[in-house]
Each structure stands twice: as C-alpha cells, then as structure tokens.
Amino acid sequence: MANLKELSKRQEPLTGGHRLCPGCGASIVVRQVLLASKDPVVVVSATGCLEVSTTIFPYAAWKVPFLHNAFENAAATMSGVEAYYQFLKRKGKTSQHINFVAFGGDGGTYDIGLQSLSGAMERGHDFTYVCYNNQAYMNTGIQRSSATPKGANTTTEPAGKVKQGKTMSRKDLTEIMVAHDLPYVAQATVGNWADLTRKAEKAFSIRGPKFMNVLQPCRLGWAYKPEDTAAIGRIAAETCFWPLYEVENGIYKITKPREKKPVAEFLKTQERFRHLFKPGNEKIIEDIQADVDRRWQALLAKEEMTAKAAK
C-alpha cells in the first residue's frame, strides 16, 4: 500500500475553496479514494451534495476529468465512458490505463440509482462505483432514504409524538452488490484513511466492476461539531454499526475492532438520535443493538464459511 509520503506527492483531485460544509466527509472520501490511483482517473458524479458544491457554474473544484449527470444514472454514464475507452483500445488509439470512478450519494445509489448501478455491475464494466453514504437525502433537505438507519430523525420521518424517527431498518446495499458476484466489494468509513486507501488501491488493481460503500458522517443531517467527522466514522466501525470488510472473489475478510463497543456509543455522538435517549425509548436502542449484533454475527459466519471454501 502507498505510504503517506508517496500519497502526498500525487496530484490532489480537488482544489480548496469548494462549497461543501465544514467537516463534510464527501471531500475526504474523494481525495483519499482518488489519491490511491497511481494511474490517471476519470470521474462521474451523480447530482448530490458532492456535485452541487464542487461545480458552481462557471467554476469547478475538480483537477481531473469530470462529468456530471442526473441523480439516477451515474453508473449508466460511466458505463458509456468506459465502453468508449475500450473501443479506443481495440482500435489502437490508446494504450494508457485509466481508472474510472463513479461517485454517488446514498439517495442516488441505494434508491433512484439502484437500477442503473445494478445494470452496470451485471454487464461487467471496468470501473469502481463509490457510494459516499451519509444515510439520507442531505442535499435536498434531510429526507430519509433506504440507507437511513432505524431511529434516525429526518424531515420525512421526524421524531415526535407519533413516532421516534425512522421505523424501518436500513437496506444492506453492500450485500446486494456481493450478490451480483462482483470481483471486489468493500465497506469503509471516513476516519480510517489507511483502510479506505488500501481498499481503493485494491479496487483499482482489479479488472471488472467494483463497488465501495463508504460511510460519510454528515455535519448537517447528523448534527454534530464539524471537527468530529473522523471520530464519528471510527466509532461507527468500533461499535460494528458499520463493519469494515471486503469481499474479493466471494471471499470475506473483516477488519475486526479490538473491542466491540455498544452501539449507544455511536448513537450519542449525533443529534439525529438524541430523542432515543429520552425515557421510554430504551426499547428502540435495544432493538438497534440487537440488529447490529445479528448482522455482525452473520458477517462473521460468512467470513468463516468462505475461508473454509477457499482452502
């Protein structure tokens, strides 16, 4: 894996001065993923926080080739770009290796972009799709998405007298991508740069469709101090609310925390879960913990099963 000294010598993919919120994790995801590529990159980004804040006409914060498309079709657009690149290679018009990267938020990935993403992955296009996952439609007003966890307060499922935030559990898109039988799928989080960079490097080294789901704390929608972004990302992994793992050719490999902390340690860092700590809501936290534990045990079982099958 490239060390910090080597990474620091590579071209920054974003300029300073973009309009993302102070403490936003999206720019951290972009910088760390793209710096992991030693080859040139081409980027596609769906409409969302990342795009609207880095491409304020007539300015752009991108220092790499960049294409903006609609909310729902980042994977389809990148499919076309990658297919044309393969055409140029067949015609002998280029031999340079290029890494293609599509970025989308959870709204444009889990929900309205899922069909586009699934199609591109099934067709086998050689690019890496990165979901910068802040667990709601943050750009349009903090509405719930299918990535929003149970109990979270959003503008479309608010905490109040009727209900205590979102009532349903979040969709497990990472496992949906594993079910596409991709050569590489990974989960990472802001706050652990070495893990994220290593996984991006591995994705770039593998030919075919790759998917990375990166948890990205959102200063606005999660409601916390801007300087706490990285720490909240780390505690998400330490509580196994957001396990760090990868699946390469069907083989699971988990980065296990030294100590699995209670999920309440993660929930209490954000105002979106503040209501859960009021008297009478103890059962909701217990249910969230039970769901985290169930998913964690299932993940451990998959690692053990696939490791045995690989021998």
Contact yes or no for 53/60 (Cβ under 8 A): no
pLDDT at residue number 263: 98
Tell if the pTM clears 0.85, that is, is over it: yes
CA distances from 13 to 30, 41, 95, 167 (A): 8, 9, 23, 39
Beta bridge partners of 164: 159
pLDDT at residue number 310: 84
The CA dihedral of 210, 2, 132, 128, to the nearest 10 degrees, is: -20
pLDDT at residue number 128: 98
3-class DSSP assignment, residue 211: strand
pLDDT at residue number 32: 96
pLDDT at residue number 173: 98
pLDDT at residue number 11: 86
The number of distinct structural domains making up the chain is 1
pLDDT at residue number 233: 98
CATH number reported for the structural domain that contains residue 156 in this entry? 3.40.50.970
Contact yes or no for 68/51 (Cβ under 8 A): yes
CA–CA separation, 93 and 85 (whole Å): 9
| Domain that residue 228 falls in | 4-310
CA–CA separation, 292 and 143 (whole Å): 23
pLDDT at residue number 218: 97
Q: Pairing mode, if any, of strands 184-189 and 244-248?
A: antiparallel
CA distances from 130 to 108, 113, 300 (A): 11, 12, 24
Residuewise pLDDT in 10s, the chain (311 residues): 778 888 888 889 999 889 999 999 999 999 999 999 999 999 999 999 999 999 998 999 999 999 999 999 999 999 999 999 999 999 999 999 999 999 999 999 999 999 999 999 999 999 999 999 999 999 999 999 999 999 999 999 999 999 999 999 999 999 999 999 999 999 999 999 999 999 999 999 999 999 999 999 999 999 999 999 999 999 999 999 999 999 999 999 999 999 999 999 999 999 999 999 999 999 999 999 999 999 999 999 999 999 998 87
Beta bridge partners of 102: 44, 129
For residue 150, the one-letter residue type is: K
Residue 199 CA, distance from chain mean position: 12
Continuous segment of H or E residues that includes residue 266? helix 264-267
